[in-house]
Chains A and B, each alone.
Chain A
Amino acid sequence: MRWAKRLFTIALKGLVKNRMRSLLTTLGVIIGVASVIVMVGVGAGAQADVESQISSLGTNMIMVFPGASRHGGASGGAGSFNRLTLEDANAIAEEAELISGVSPAVRTSGQIVGGTGDWNTGVTGVSTEYLEIRAWGIESGEFFDERAVRSRAKVAVLGQTIVDELFPSEDPIGQKIRINKTPFTVIGVLTKKGASSFGRDEDDTILVPVTTGLYRLSGGQYINMMYLSARSLGESDAAIEEVTEILRRRHRLNPGEDDDFRIRSQAEFIEMATETQKVMTLLLGAVAAVSLIVGGIGIMNIMLVSVTERTREIGIRLAVGARSRDVLVQFLTESVVLSLLGGVIGVTLAYILAGVLNNVVGMTTIVNPGVVALAFGFAAAIGVFFGYYPARKAAMLNPIDALRYE
């Protein structure tokens, strides 16, 4: 104990006597540690951003589109032959166990007249479950219910952009609007959703009951697509299989025939984006790790120079009775203290930088305590690893040779 305390004192004195050199040496580790933590933090932040963006699309959402039909080998392109019906949607709602929500969607575009003027926008007919599937909400008023769907009620729920355009100064609830000359009553306003990840203004929309959209506005028999909600994100793939099976059966497709519909899921997007982000985080981390190693080599370099420069000192210490391990421990302690100091300053710097990035630059940076521990541990390990060789070199010197060194 006394021994350890003394050697620690010697090492500390050595460092304090060479303040400038100590500081410059630690700089490599400081930058290394800080950059590892911040880089990985920036990567993790970007990943979290993308994930939250994707989850704002909906709740475990699965989208079903009509597929290209084939006639005599010629592909007609996506949606060229619309084969999705309301009955398909109902069948999925009834039969698919892994699906918790189903909303068919019927899109028409229409000229809207009402309030202060007119506006051209898309009108989508959806079911009552649509809002939950899309993770959307009602700002004021209410959404239509099952009864409205059954009765093909002429009620509309407006997006924020429509409200801004048609009712800038009055409450739209209860107002009459005309969609392609058909009168509708406004019963609700949607919350603001902003731009979609594809840049489209999500708030520039009007929602009506699916039956109203299908029979009163588009006048067709096919729906444009379906929004489904899987019970959980993890069950997405199984749910897709289930839906595929139901649709193939209903469309009487023989085994070996291509699907006449396409299915895309949110899980796919997340997986894709996460994969990309992981690669980026890894890349950033790798670059930073290299800088940490370079910092370690800096420590070794300085320790080597320091051993050469202090050969006489080592000789003096050996001459008055220092054992090899005393000298070894002294130099090891010096390099470990240096790298730990670098680690502490590096971690502090990383937290400051992350704070600046988060609050001033507005870049999401998530400091991961695991990464902090790892970087710190790595710094200490670098100290031992890169300090050992020069320390051993110093400790093994012959006292008389060390003393004669000029």
Chain B
Amino acid sequence: MESTVQHVIETRRLVKNYEMGDFVVHALRGVDLTVDPGEFVAIMGASGSGKSTLLNVIGCLDEPTSGEYYIDGADASGLSRDEYARIRNERIGFVFQTFNLLPRTSALDNVELPLFYDHAARIENPRSAATEALETVGLGDRMHHEPSELSGGQRQRVAIARALVNRPAIILADEPTGNLDSRTSIDVISVFQKLNQQGITVLLVTHEHDIAQYTKRVVMMRDGIIVNDRRVENRADAAADLANMPAVDDIVTTGTAGEV
């Protein structure tokens, strides 16, 4: 059955079991989730609640044990390795907690990486697309720096630019602020907010309530199922919060100071 087109993500009775020796870990026990275009969703929950597993399955990095799921309207259940690779390349942008940039490779080359595997040649000029993506995340002046020459916040911006460059249907972010201090976290979240304002759908996993407060919708998970799904009241504005932060933080996080 074909899903209705308006959902970016739709999962039905999604189950994922891991076999660990003799016993089975039930990471997902039947998750139904729909995400519509333009949404900004935070998936929350304690560790082991299945939130990262859900994100990995939606991101086609991992396969569910059973259940159906649709990405950008297309059925993604039981595809081949190559078909999943194509979905990852064309419809999904993934941002990781540990950045996962290629070492000794310039920011520009890192951002251009997905376009190397753009076999359908969807994007005309990979170089200028990568440049544009880096400018969008505010790193137009750091394009030729290698990851080791960038601060944590800047690295995550490069990763976000890489997720953007192939013009995906959705950006998935797994604890994108997990390795960053609070000011840099808000800085990175402000980038997501800006992108969302431009109409890009974002789904992120976090365990910090402060971070979730910047999104539009919070999905709570526990023991592999969704236990709560609510709209965010009194949504926080990351750019405004950054401006109000004490100047002392500028000294602590010198790398990201003064750039928003």
Q: Which residues of B102-146 are within 8 A (CB) of A?
A: 102, 104-105, 109, 113-114, 116-119, 121
Q: Is the beta-carbon distance between A319 and B102 smaller than 8 angstroms?
A: no
Interface membership of A209, Cβ < 8 A = no
**Smallest CB gap from B126: residue in A:** A6
Contacts of B59 in A (CB 8 A): 319
Interface membership of B182, Cβ < 8 A = no
Given contacts A319-B100, A322-B117, A323-B117, 20 further A-B contacts (CB under 8 A): A2-B121, A13-B105, A13-B109, A313-B102, A315-B100, A316-B102, A316-B113, A317-B117, A318-B85, A319-B96, A321-B117, A322-B85, A322-B89, A323-B81, A323-B86, A324-B85, A325-B82, A326-B117, A403-B61, A403-B96
Q: How far is the CA of A325 from the CA of B80 in the complex (A)?
A: 13
Q: How far is the CA of A89 from the CA of B47 in the complex (A)?
A: 108
Contacts of B121 in A (CB 8 A): 2
Contacts of B90 in A (CB 8 A): 321
Contacts of B157 in A (CB 8 A): none
Q: Is the beta-carbon distance between B104 and A17 smaller than 8 angstroms?
A: yes
**Smallest CB gap from B83: residue in A:** A323
Encoded as 1 (CB less than 8 Å from any B CB) or 0, chain A from 271 to 283 comes to: 0000000000000
Q: How far is the CA of A210 from the CA of B151 in the complex (A)?
A: 103
Contacts of A101 in B (CB 8 A): none
Q: Which residues of A contact B (CB under 8 A)?
A: 2-3, 6-7, 10, 13, 17, 312-313, 315-326, 398-400, 403
Interface size on B, residues (CB 8 A): 28
A-B interface, 8 closest residue pairs, ranked by CB to CB distance from nearest = A321-B89, A320-B114, A321-B117, A323-B85, A321-B88, A400-B61, A322-B117, A399-B61
- Provided the pairs A6-B116, A321-B114 are in contact, do residues A403 and B81 lie with their beta carbons within 8 angstroms? no
Q: Which residues of B contact A (CB under 8 A)?
A: 56, 59, 61-62, 81-82, 85-86, 88-90, 94, 96, 100-102, 104-105, 109, 113-114, 116-119, 121, 162, 166
Q: Is the beta-carbon distance between B104 and A312 smaller than 8 angstroms?
A: no
Q: Is the beta-carbon distance between A320 and B89 smaller than 8 angstroms?
A: yes
Number of A-B contacts (CB under 8 A): 68
**Smallest CB gap from B118: residue in A:** A321
Q: How far is the CA of A325 from the CA of B85 in the complex (A)?
A: 11
Q: List 20 A-B contacts (CB under 8 A).
A: A17-B105, A316-B100, A317-B113, A319-B94, A320-B89, A320-B94, A321-B85, A321-B89, A321-B90, A321-B114, A321-B117, A323-B85, A323-B86, A324-B81, A324-B82, A325-B82, A398-B62, A399-B61, A399-B88, A403-B61
**Smallest CB gap from B84: residue in A:** A399
B74 → chain A closest CB, angstroms = 15
Contacts of B118 in A (CB 8 A): 321
A321 → chain B closest CB, angstroms = 2
Contacts of B61 in A (CB 8 A): 319, 399-400, 403
Q: How far is the CA of A399 from the CA of B56 in the complex (A)?
A: 10
Q: How far is the CA of A319 from the CA of B85 in the complex (A)?
A: 8
A176 → chain B closest CB, angstroms = 92
A6 → chain B closest CB, angstroms = 5
Q: Is the beta-carbon distance between B62 and A320 smaller than 8 angstroms?
A: no
Query: In the complex, which of the residues A3, A315, A321 has the most CB atoms of chain B within 10 Å of its own CB atom?
Result: A321
A174 → chain B closest CB, angstroms = 88
Contacts of A398 in B (CB 8 A): 62
A397 → chain B closest CB, angstroms = 11
